[in-house]
Amino acid sequence: MANQAQAIQAIQQLAAQDPEIQKLQAQAQFKSVIHGHTDRCWEKCNLGKEATQSSLSGRAKSCLDNCVRNFFTCEGTVNEVMQKMTSGNK
Protein backbone atom coordinates (compact mmCIF):
# COMPACT_ATOMS: atom_id res chain seq x y z
CA MET A 1 0.00 0.00 0.00
CA ALA A 2 2.87 2.39 0.82
CA ASN A 3 4.47 1.71 -2.58
CA GLN A 4 1.23 2.57 -4.33
CA ALA A 5 0.94 5.84 -2.39
CA GLN A 6 4.55 6.70 -3.23
CA ALA A 7 3.94 5.95 -6.91
CA ILE A 8 0.84 8.16 -6.94
CA GLN A 9 2.75 10.96 -5.25
CA ALA A 10 5.60 10.68 -7.77
CA ILE A 11 3.14 10.82 -10.67
CA GLN A 12 1.43 13.87 -9.16
CA GLN A 13 4.78 15.63 -8.76
CA LEU A 14 5.70 14.94 -12.39
CA ALA A 15 2.26 16.07 -13.54
CA ALA A 16 2.61 19.32 -11.59
CA GLN A 17 5.72 20.12 -13.68
CA ASP A 18 4.11 19.41 -17.06
CA PRO A 19 2.71 22.60 -18.67
CA GLU A 20 0.15 20.65 -20.70
CA ILE A 21 -1.22 18.95 -17.59
CA GLN A 22 -1.26 22.30 -15.78
CA LYS A 23 -3.28 23.74 -18.66
CA LEU A 24 -5.74 20.84 -18.54
CA GLN A 25 -6.07 21.19 -14.77
CA ALA A 26 -6.75 24.92 -15.12
CA GLN A 27 -9.41 24.23 -17.76
CA ALA A 28 -11.04 21.60 -15.55
CA GLN A 29 -11.02 23.98 -12.60
CA PHE A 30 -12.58 26.74 -14.73
CA LYS A 31 -15.29 24.37 -15.94
CA SER A 32 -15.97 23.34 -12.36
CA VAL A 33 -16.40 26.98 -11.32
CA ILE A 34 -18.76 27.63 -14.24
CA HIS A 35 -20.84 24.54 -13.45
CA GLY A 36 -21.04 25.55 -9.80
CA HIS A 37 -22.19 29.04 -10.72
CA THR A 38 -24.68 27.68 -13.22
CA ASP A 39 -26.17 25.56 -10.45
CA ARG A 40 -26.38 28.59 -8.13
CA CYS A 41 -28.09 30.70 -10.81
CA TRP A 42 -30.44 27.83 -11.63
CA GLU A 43 -31.50 27.60 -7.98
CA LYS A 44 -31.56 31.36 -7.37
CA CYS A 45 -33.75 32.00 -10.41
CA ASN A 46 -35.92 28.96 -9.67
CA LEU A 47 -35.59 27.61 -13.20
CA GLY A 48 -36.53 24.03 -12.39
CA LYS A 49 -40.19 24.44 -13.39
CA GLU A 50 -39.32 26.36 -16.55
CA ALA A 51 -36.81 23.76 -17.72
CA THR A 52 -39.62 21.66 -19.16
CA GLN A 53 -40.77 24.51 -21.41
CA SER A 54 -39.25 25.39 -24.76
CA SER A 55 -38.31 28.93 -23.66
CA LEU A 56 -37.79 30.90 -20.47
CA SER A 57 -40.13 33.62 -19.23
CA GLY A 58 -39.00 37.23 -19.26
CA ARG A 59 -38.51 37.12 -15.48
CA ALA A 60 -36.36 34.00 -15.70
CA LYS A 61 -34.27 35.41 -18.56
CA SER A 62 -33.71 38.64 -16.63
CA CYS A 63 -32.76 36.79 -13.45
CA LEU A 64 -30.38 34.51 -15.30
CA ASP A 65 -28.82 37.42 -17.19
CA ASN A 66 -28.25 39.36 -13.95
CA CYS A 67 -26.87 36.32 -12.16
CA VAL A 68 -24.37 35.56 -14.93
CA ARG A 69 -23.41 39.24 -15.31
CA ASN A 70 -22.79 39.51 -11.56
CA PHE A 71 -20.63 36.40 -11.66
CA PHE A 72 -18.39 37.74 -14.41
CA THR A 73 -18.16 41.18 -12.78
CA CYS A 74 -17.16 39.59 -9.49
CA GLU A 75 -14.73 37.21 -11.20
CA GLY A 76 -13.09 40.12 -13.03
CA THR A 77 -12.72 42.11 -9.82
CA VAL A 78 -11.22 39.17 -7.98
CA ASN A 79 -8.77 38.56 -10.83
CA GLU A 80 -7.68 42.22 -10.82
CA VAL A 81 -7.10 42.16 -7.07
CA MET A 82 -5.18 38.88 -7.29
CA GLN A 83 -2.98 40.25 -10.09
CA LYS A 84 -2.19 43.35 -8.05
CA MET A 85 -1.37 41.23 -5.01
CA THR A 86 0.93 38.91 -6.94
CA SER A 87 2.69 41.75 -8.74
CA GLY A 88 3.33 43.61 -5.48
CA ASN A 89 1.20 46.64 -6.39
CA LYS A 90 -1.13 46.48 -3.42
What is the model's pLDDT at position 66? Answer: 92
What is the model's pLDDT at position 90? Answer: 47
Average pLDDT over all residues of the chain: 83
Residues 6+ apart with CB under 8 A from 67: 37, 40, 41, 44, 45
On whether the pTM is more than 0.85, the answer is: no
Q: Kindly state the average pLDDT of the residues 61-90.
A: 83
Architecture of domain 2-87: Orthogonal Bundle (1.10)
